[in-house]
Amino acid sequence: MHGMWVAVVQRVHAHPRSAPLLCRMRSAPQRDGDPRRLPGPLPRPQRAHQLIVLLPVLVPVVFASVLGQRADEPLDATHRWVVRHARTIGTVVEAAFSVYLLVKGVRALP
């Protein structure tokens, strides 16, 4: 996976107008001084964030894989509930993200 990502970045890097897009990557610490290599493994907080983001996808897939057809009824009921409350769920997620950005912005003030 990392090799494919590096190959894509190298293709983008070959174009002169893409240099500003890669400034952040090129300033990241490199292993062995090789600019083609990605930085080391992700820090623990980023791993936790990735796991949290993947949970809404992983839980139903694992649930359906383990229980098979017995998972159909609970998954259908969950789907109906999410569809029925989609606007409320979206509002809560947007409000939580807004509060997060507001707190982050206030902390960044001098």
- For the chain, the first-to-last Cα distance in angstroms comes to 41
14 and 67 in a common domain? no
What confidence score (pLDDT) does residue 42 get?
A: 62
20 and 62 in a common domain? no
55 and 33 in a common domain? no
24 and 51 in a common domain? no
Residues spanned by the domain of 83: 44-108
51 and 97 in a common domain? yes
56 and 34 in a common domain? no
| 109: amino acid identity, one letter | L
79 and 34 in a common domain? no
Residue pLDDT tens, the chain, 110 long: 443 333 334 444 444 444 444 444 444 444 555 556 556 666 677 778 888 889 989 999 999 999 999 999 999 999 999 999 999 999 999 999 999 999 999 999 98
d(CA 39, CA 9): 14
Instruction: Find tokens 């293709």 and name the residue.
Output: 11
68 and 93 in a common domain? yes
